């Protein structure tokens, strides 16, 4: 059984799903990847789905989940991706590896539709760099 990685955010509508998609694609079958939120929005943001599709990652089947859904699972690693200081990043109970890699929340972007899409792409690209590097470390046999 592969180790479980849980990526947490507040709303589980953008950043955590993008990170889940990137890590799942980059790490392959080395880990089981999940995402959740402390206050789930109840949906995956359509623009997150759109910009991930641009890089070949399909989030269309994802759903917003609460972190409590994972309390009875053996979670090896928790990664929080909340970026703004005014957001409450959730903490997960138990003895797990923890990482915090904060990213801006593109759901708060303002401007024209194209400007908002550019913000989603910018955050996606940052997430992609970090989580592909993390996956490369996993492939080299480093610990979670």
**CATH architecture type of domain 4-138:** 3-Layer(aba) Sandwich (3.40)
Q: Band the pLDDT of 48: cuts 50, 70, 90.
A: very high
In the predicted model, is pLDDT for residue 94 greater than 80? no
Give pLDDT tens digits for 96-143: 788 989 999 999 999 999 999 999 999 999 999 999 999 999 988 755
Per-residue confidence (pLDDT) for residue 86, from 0 to 100: 43
Q: Which residues contact 83 (CB under 8 A, 6 or more apart)?
A: 15, 102, 103, 104, 105
Catalytic residues: 9, 82, 89
Q: Where in the chain are the domains?
A: 4-138
Per-residue confidence (pLDDT) for residue 84, from 0 to 100: 57
Per-residue confidence (pLDDT) for residue 42, from 0 to 100: 95
């Amino acid at each position: 059984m592969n180790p479980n990685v849980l990526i947490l955010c507040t709303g589980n509508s953008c950043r955590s799903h993008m990170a889940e998609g990137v890590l799942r694609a980059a790490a392959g079958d080395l880990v089981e990847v999940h995402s959740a939120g402390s206050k789930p929005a109840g949906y995956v943001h359509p623009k997150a789905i759109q910009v991930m599709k641009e890089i070949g990652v399909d989030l269309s089947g994802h759903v917003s989940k609460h972190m409590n859904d994972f309390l009875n699972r053996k979670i090896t690693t928790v990664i929080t991706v909340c970026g703004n200081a005014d957001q409450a990043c959730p903490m997960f109970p138990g003895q797990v590896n923890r990482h915090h890699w904060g990213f801006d929340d593109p759901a708060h972007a303002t401007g024209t539709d194209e400007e908002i899409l550019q913000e989603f792409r910018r955050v996606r690209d940052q997430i992609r760099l970090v989580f592909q590097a993390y996956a490369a470390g996993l492939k080299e046999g480093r610990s979670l």
